[in-house]
A = this chain, B = another copy of it.
């Protein structure tokens, strides 16, 4: 089960369903969050795979309030609250705190490239200082391919040294396992999450806390089983069991594939819709995806029943 004390477990960057006019389908979103919780997955709402940056700040804050006022416990939430503009990051982070979130996942400002370590440090420090609340727990977010900003080990050390009670974790989407290991060795108390369940066993063995993975939206039970039994006799088998679905998703545009698959398995069209600049899978691509998933024996147990409540 997802554990928040200390921060650990399997988190999904929750997929965001959109109606045909691209408005957020919040009822379906809520039911999907409930399904994920039933599968013991934590809710990293507003992540990369949530199309968070395709939502306005106001949309994100409204959606967070909607979840919490409809029975989603704040303790299950790790909202993404990083933004290019510090004022945006501050209001998002404050909203996450107000919702009782166990932590926030903070992508650095991502428009300018080749910014200095001092600049990335200052952008995090400015948000932390403005919030000024010891309840704030931040998971740093290293995703240089999209953000253009590497969260280096020296930077993490500086942030942890300055804000030891606040900077408590790292999600590493770099896929650079040498880097991830170096961080875990240098800062054993830091809660380190890998971004792909294909690295989960290795990450746990090296002292990691879990994963925050796109596929936790899709294949949650099997990934949670691996996380819970990583020290068990069948850990390798559980790792092998989650890899084929990951492979099927990863070889396609991931967000579009996850959403098309979720829409089909949940019989709920809003999940197939993405906001531009992303594009969805076409009919043929969806058919091929579903066929590959079928051959892998893939199912999303209970999803249809949950989403029926949103219709």
A residues in contact (CB < 8 Å) with B:
22, 48, 53-59, 84-88, 108-113, 115-116, 118-120, 122-123, 125-126, 145-146, 148-149, 275-279
Give chain B residues whose Cβ lies under 8 Å from the Cβ of A54.
Answer: 84-86, 109, 111
**A111 contacts B110, CB within 8 Å?**
yes
Give the chain B neighbours of A57 by CB distance below 8 A: 56-57
**Copies, count:** 2
B119 near A276 with CB under 8 A, answer yes
Cα of A48 to Cα of B111 in the assembled complex, Å = 9
6 closest A-B pairs by CB: A123-B276, A122-B276, A119-B277, A53-B111, A53-B84, A115-B277
Q: Which B residues are CB-close (under 8 A) to A112?
A: 53, 146, 277-278
A108's contact among B108, B113, B125, B277, by CB below 8 Å, is which? B277
Query: Are A145 and B56 in contact, CB atoms less than 8 angstroms apart?
Result: no
Sample of 5 A–B contacts (CB below 8 Å): A54-B86, A57-B57, A58-B87, A86-B276, A116-B277
Which residues on the B side are within 8 Å of A116 (C-beta)? 277, 279
Q: In the assembly, what is the distance between CA of A278 and CA of B126, in Å?
A: 12
Cross-chain contact B56 with A276 (CB below 8 angstroms): no
Nearest Cβ on chain B to A233's Cβ, whole angstroms: 41
- Which residues of chain B come closer than 8 Å to A275, judged between CB atoms? 85-86
CB-defined contacts of A119 to chain B, threshold 8 Å = 276-279
Q: How far is the CB of A37 from chain B (nearest CB, A)?
A: 27
Given A112-B146, A113-B145 in contact, is the A118-B279 Cβ separation under 8 Å?
A: yes
Cα-based distance from A59 to B277 in the complex (angstroms): 25
Q: How far is the CA of A123 from the CA of B86 in the complex (A)?
A: 25
In angstroms, how far is the closest chain B Cβ from the Cβ of A277?
Answer: 4
A56-B57, A112-B146, A126-B22 known; A120-B277 Cβ under 8 A: yes
Indicate if the CB atoms of B53 and A85 lie closer than 8 Å.
yes
Using Cβ atoms and an 8 Å threshold, which residues of chain B touch A109? 53-54, 276-277
A275 to B88, CA, bound (A): 13
Residues of B within 8 A of A123 (CB): 276-277
Complex formed: what's the CA distance from A145 to B278 in Å?
19
Beta-carbon nearest neighbor of A91 in chain B: B56
A113 proximity list for chain B (CB < 8 A) = 145-146
Query: Could you say which residues of chain B place their CB within 8 Å of the CB of A276?
Result: 86, 109, 119-120, 122-123, 125-126
Name which of A88, A108, A125, A126 has the most chain B CB atoms within 10 A of its CB.
Answer: A88
A85 x B146 contact (CB < 8 A): no
Q: Give the chain B neighbours of A122 by CB distance below 8 A.
A: 276-277, 279
A128 CB to nearest chain B CB (Å): 12
Are A56 and B115 in touch, CB under 8 angstroms?
no
A156, chain B: closest CB distance, angstroms: 16
State A118–B119 Cα separation when bound (angstroms): 35
- A85 and B57 alpha carbons, distance in the complex (Å): 9
